[in-house]
A and B are shown apart, each in its own frame.
Chain A
Amino acid sequence: MAEDIVISGSGLRKQFNENVIAVEDANFTIPRGSFISLVGPSGCGKSTLLRLISGLIEKSEGDLLVRSNEVVGPRSDIGMMFQKAVLLDWRTSIENVLLPDEIRGTIDTDAKKRAWDHLQLVGLKDFEFSFPRQLSGGMQQRVALARLLQTGADIMLLDEPFGALDEFTRERLNDELLRIVEGPDITTLFVTHNIQEAIYLADQVFVMTPRPGRIAAQIKIDLPTPRNIDMTTTPEFNNYVQQVRDVLSGHLDGQPL
């Protein structure tokens, strides 16, 4: 067994009802510490694939292993983040970050200290005791990111986490996300429909196509790390963009969108 494969799927399939095959024959391996982007148009099954891995929904067929164990439900080494921050309006930032500890019954002074540190890490100094309604959309997502870090999960599943934010905020948060998850420990799956963003962040891009949802290509991104925004104008980068586009257009030709 390869030591550093944390997630693997083979022949993975998810069917919601007779007509909707959300994920069909997905085969992939995800090494520890890598950053994988899932990119594709809406309805291509990228969110479904993420939810299968998270254990929120059950697969229909095939194998799906996390750390060599079949996925049977949510697990504590997997954390999620969504397009909406999903904060509890009646709690301050730090209390929202502490939610995972509260649910697991592990809340103590130590947990509170970690929550404080995580808030500093995501750049929310002086907003530890603000309520969600007092924060901007970008800051709310920072709280959600701190809460994800608080879970202690080393597999992070991010479903278009900054998709609802403006371009500038999104770019900044992407860079901060890279800084936080970099290193050999944290494995990240990042769902997006933005091709540039997918390539910029990832070690590997899974290009997904709809009806039925398939992983049409797995493209390794050999750009130097750490990434910076200037790379997005290099020929290599544009080469990758073109590759992704080719895969998508090859599959989408003649398909009603």
Chain B
Amino acid sequence: MSNDQEASISNIELNAQYTGSLGGAVIRHTLIFFVVMFIWEMANRTGFSNPLLLPRPTDIAASIWKIYVTQGNVWYHLWVTFQEAMLGCLIGSVIGIALAVAAVLSDSFRQFLKPYIIIVEATPRIALGPIFVTWFGFGMSSKVALAALVCFFAPFVNTITGLLGVQEESYELFRSLGATRRQVFWRLMIPTALPTMNAGLKLAVGSAFGGALVAEFISAQAGMGILMARYTMSLNMPSAFAGLLSITLYGFLLFRTMEVIDKRVLYWLDDDLMAKKSAKREIKYRQELGL
């Protein structure tokens, strides 16, 4: 199973371990942050760089305060983009997984699908942005559509990889036990594929955000993309940077959330969760069996 995971495009984690203490790492990175901020600030104040293009850190901090607190306008746009990205991600993933399942269960459908998948893969997905805006309008639907398109591919490929990774002997075991096709699918194929499928979903969630933003850049009434476009066009660079930082933070939080869910769902890949689960099940069984 781990081999299949490595073979798929999902393995983008940096498997670097901290060799020193965690506290040391925090201090180190905090120090670097302040030094960079200080140099940046000083470069601006001494006229070394143009504050109009690259705003001062202190100005960015003030803008963050402004858009979140005093003006408070960012919340609405964040919410719009969040909805677009998540809805798009949901639609794209569901279609991707459904097509992948169909392609794995039917060889002839897989053959049929292949050329279309190659075409989709060869097309830079965001290039469809202007077309989607024309088709679906300036509202949320065009952003949802682009996010869905961007999200389709990773779950599709990973679901196929995961489902094809089921060992022949596992099928033989299930068949020798007289399992139905439905039992083979739900009790063997899906759980076996789940780690790879989840990795695909993680990638999809990350890219959903980008898809929605690109569509907003093209044309929109609301959302983080249009907000940032407005700020840059009016050369309000501190606010544009504040918006960028918001998006980064938002992406980071989403990714972390996905990782937490991932870990919970795939409890059998984590030593601590496995220990907890087995203790729980032991209690349940001992009660039932009166042991």
Contact assessment for A88 and B188 in the assembled complex, using a CB-CB cutoff below 8 Å: yes
Binding site for A on B (CB under 8 A): 1, 167, 169-170, 172-179, 183, 187-188, 191, 267-269, 274, 277-279, 281-282, 285, 288-289, 291
Known: A51-B172, A80-B173, A86-B167. 11 other contacts (CB 8 A): A54-B176, A80-B176, A86-B173, A89-B1, A94-B285, A95-B281, A99-B177, A103-B177, A103-B179, A109-B288, A151-B177
Closest 4 CB pairs of A and B: A129-B278, A129-B282, A90-B268, A80-B176
Contact assessment for B174 and A103 in the assembled complex, using a CB-CB cutoff below 8 Å: yes
Contact assessment for B274 and A134 in the assembled complex, using a CB-CB cutoff below 8 Å: yes
A129-B278, A129-B282, A130-B278 are contacts. A78–B176 as well, Cβ < 8 Å? yes
Contact assessment for B172 and A56 in the assembled complex, using a CB-CB cutoff below 8 Å: yes
Q: With the chains together, A131 CA to B270 CA distance in Å?
A: 11
Is A237 an interface position by the 8 A CB rule?
no
What is the distance, in angstroms, from A103's C-beta to the closest C-beta of chain B? 5
B177 surroundings in chain A (CB, below 8 A): 74, 99-100, 103-104, 151
What is the distance, in angstroms, from A222's C-beta to the closest C-beta of chain B? 33
Is A116 an interface position by the 8 A CB rule?
yes
Contact assessment for A86 and B170 in the assembled complex, using a CB-CB cutoff below 8 Å: yes
A86-B169, A109-B288 are contacts. A56–B176 as well, Cβ < 8 Å? yes
Is A79 an interface position by the 8 A CB rule?
yes
Q: Please report which residues of chain A, range 123-175, place their CB below 8 angstroms from some CB of chain B when the two chains form the complex.
A: 128-131, 133-134, 151
What is the distance, in angstroms, from A139's C-beta to the closest C-beta of chain B? 14
B268 surroundings in chain A (CB, below 8 A): 89-90, 131, 133
B1 surroundings in chain A (CB, below 8 A): 89
Is A82 an interface position by the 8 A CB rule?
yes
Is A113 an interface position by the 8 A CB rule?
yes
We find that the number of chain A residues with CB closer than 8 angstroms to chain B is 35
Closest residue on chain A to residue B278 by CB atoms? A129
Q: With the chains together, A113 CA to B291 CA distance in Å?
A: 10
What is the distance, in angstroms, from A47's C-beta to the closest C-beta of chain B? 11
Is A84 an interface position by the 8 A CB rule?
yes
Contact assessment for B167 and A84 in the assembled complex, using a CB-CB cutoff below 8 Å: yes
Contact assessment for A80 and B172 in the assembled complex, using a CB-CB cutoff below 8 Å: yes
Closest residue on chain B to residue A93 by CB atoms? B278
Closest residue on chain B to residue A84 by CB atoms? B169
What is the distance, in angstroms, from A51's C-beta to the closest C-beta of chain B? 8
What is the distance, in angstroms, from B194's C-beta to the closest C-beta of chain A? 8
Q: With the chains together, A97 CA to B73 CA distance in Å?
A: 58
Is A193 an interface position by the 8 A CB rule?
no
What is the distance, in angstroms, from A144's C-beta to the closest C-beta of chain B? 9
A86-B169, A90-B191 are contacts. A129–B175 as well, Cβ < 8 Å? no
Q: Please report which residues of chain A, range 216-231, place their CB below 8 angstroms from some CB of chain B when the two chains form the complex.
A: none
What is the distance, in angstroms, from A76's C-beta to the closest C-beta of chain B? 7
**B178, B278, B291: the one within 8 Å of A74 (CB):** B178
Is A48 an interface position by the 8 A CB rule?
no
Q: With the chains together, A90 CA to B191 CA distance in Å?
A: 8
B274 surroundings in chain A (CB, below 8 A): 131, 133-134
Q: When each residue 58-100 of chain A gets 1 if its CB lies under 8 Å from chain B and 0 otherwise, what string results?
A: 0000000000000000101011101110101110101100011
Closest residue on chain B to residue A83 by CB atoms? B169
Q: With the chains together, A246 CA to B177 CA distance in Å?
A: 38
13 contacts between A and B (CB under 8 A): A56-B176, A80-B172, A80-B176, A82-B173, A89-B191, A95-B281, A99-B177, A103-B177, A103-B179, A104-B177, A109-B288, A116-B285, A129-B282
Q: With the chains together, A129 CA to B169 CA distance in Å?
A: 24
B267 surroundings in chain A (CB, below 8 A): 90
Q: With the chains together, A89 CA to B209 CA distance in Å?
A: 34
Q: With the chains together, A94 CA to B269 CA distance in Å?
A: 18
A55 surroundings in chain B (CB, below 8 A): 176
What is the distance, in angstroms, from A93's C-beta to the closest C-beta of chain B? 9
A76 surroundings in chain B (CB, below 8 A): 178
A130 surroundings in chain B (CB, below 8 A): 278
Contact assessment for A112 and B167 in the assembled complex, using a CB-CB cutoff below 8 Å: no
Closest residue on chain A to residue B173 by CB atoms? A86
Contact assessment for B175 and A74 in the assembled complex, using a CB-CB cutoff below 8 Å: yes
A83 surroundings in chain B (CB, below 8 A): 169
**A78, A79, A103, A151: the one within 8 Å of B183 (CB):** A103
Q: With the chains together, A100 CA to B187 CA distance in Å?
A: 12
Contact assessment for A109 and B289 in the assembled complex, using a CB-CB cutoff below 8 Å: yes
Q: With the chains together, A37 CA to B282 CA distance in Å?
A: 38
B291 surroundings in chain A (CB, below 8 A): 116
B170 surroundings in chain A (CB, below 8 A): 86
Closest residue on chain B to residue A151 by CB atoms? B177
**B167, B173, B183, B289: the one within 8 Å of A116 (CB):** B289
A102 surroundings in chain B (CB, below 8 A): 187
B178 surroundings in chain A (CB, below 8 A): 74, 76, 103-104
Q: With the chains together, A116 CA to B274 CA distance in Å?
A: 20
Scoring B167, B169, B191, B277 by chain A CB atoms within 10 A of each residue's CB, the highest score goes to: B169
